[in-house]
Amino acid sequence: MNTQTLNCVMIAPEGSHVNPLREAISSSYTFELIEWLKQYPEEGPFLRMLRLSAPDMLIVDFAEQPKALRIVALAQQHAPNTEILALCEENISILSTLLRAGVRNYITSSSNFHEMSETLKEQSDKLSKRPQAPRTGGDIVTFLPAKPGSGASTIAANASYAASKMPGKRTLLADFDRNSGVLSFLFKLRAEHSLRDALQTVQDMDGDMWARLRSQVGELDVLPADLDSTTPMDGNRASRLVQFFRRAYDLSCIDLSGQLDSTSIEALLESKRIYIVCTQELACQHLLLRKVERLRRAGIDKQMRLIVNRFLPRHVMTADRISDLVGVPVEMTIANNYEAANCSMENGALIKSDTNLGRSYKKLAEIMLDDRIEIPKSKPRFLEFFAQPFMKSAEQA
């Protein structure tokens, strides 16, 4: 018996013909509807969805045939292992169109719940027998501070360095924070090339050119920032650079400044995980809430996770309360060890791996290298926050 959950994406305008199919998918033990696109997407957003969601099955409504055929052609070209199921009327004209397009499976919009369930079961049995598709690219993980000084750069540096020590894992740390350059300080880099050079040459980027641009710290490849925040970066070039990272590395960590400019949005859209680093301070929580709301408006919400840095267990803002406040799961908390962190920054060095902080960064590295990513389902309970007393000064001491 197949117990694997198969991801399903549906592209279909809203309508009564869709509801029975949604109910059949919800009742299925094997399929999970991870995304429902109610409009036919343009090529760029659709290909990004294929990369990030990697659906096992794509359901396409053929109510608008030209748009549906365009989607099918893109899916067949860029995700050949994805099963395509057409939602259509049963007539000879449409079925002939499906055959010419290479779509062999369909479900009629007039089918009842039982018929749709049987079709889904057939698709599940078919998918369970297919060979596992080869991995086509690595993961992009971005680190975004909720508030300047939250420690996102320090976490990105230490976690990516820990990940690079994992056997057989090609790891990159790219500094997109052109305001601070703290990563060059932590790694004691005197690099000849920087992010600016990579962006200028991205159209001709190959292995030899990249080998000249990157810096290396042990097994970790590093692309330092150019520290020229006055000159805006081209979002399209940044997107192409991030896609190069995906092809070249198993894991690419990108440290962002916190400013949600076009370049940062491009990196976030390509990310499989977005770690928003925050602390328990009230000002940080306020800025965290605003940043999360803006990311949601940009359509970036499934990938978000929180890392609560400098965590105090007795603080009134517990990990659960922070998660409820903003509606984003907390991936992990990192204990407050100001002395070790401050010593690291003063000396320009990474945290030692045999310390509690070092072990936390190693745990985060293991999480980043794990292929499985669950979609958050928690909802914010914002009013609960105002019902809680703030931490007394004696507890903080």
pLDDT along the chain (397 residues), means of 10: 73 88 88 91 88 86 95 94 92 92 91 89 86 71 95 94 92 90 85 90 86 93 83 80 90 93 86 96 96 90 92 95 96 85 67 87 93 46 44 39
Tell me, what's the pLDDT at 282?
94
Nearest CA among 25, 99, 91, 23 for reference residue 59: 25
Task: State residue 252 phi and psi, 5-degree precision.
Answer: -120, 120
Tell me, what's the pLDDT at 204?
83
Helix ranges (H only) for 187-281 are: 195-200, 207-213, 235-248, 262-269
Q: Please tell me the number of Cα atoms within 13 Å of 300 on its side-chain side.
A: 25
By DSSP bridging, strand 220-223 and strand 6-11 are: unpaired
Helix ranges (H only) for 280-355 are: 282-297, 319-326, 338-347
Q: Which domains does the chain have, with CATH numbers?
A: 6-128 (3.40.50.2300), 139-396 (3.40.50.300)
Contact of 116 with 20, CB cutoff 8 Å:
yes
Tell me, what's the pLDDT at 136?
62
Rounded Cα distance between 210 and 275, Å, is 26
Rounded Cα distance between 244 and 229, Å, is 23
Tell me, what's the pLDDT at 388?
46
Tell me, what's the pLDDT at 316?
95
Burial class (CB in 10 A: 0-12, 13-18, 19+), 213: middle
Tell me, what's the pLDDT at 156?
96
Rounded Cα distance between 211 and 223, Å, is 11
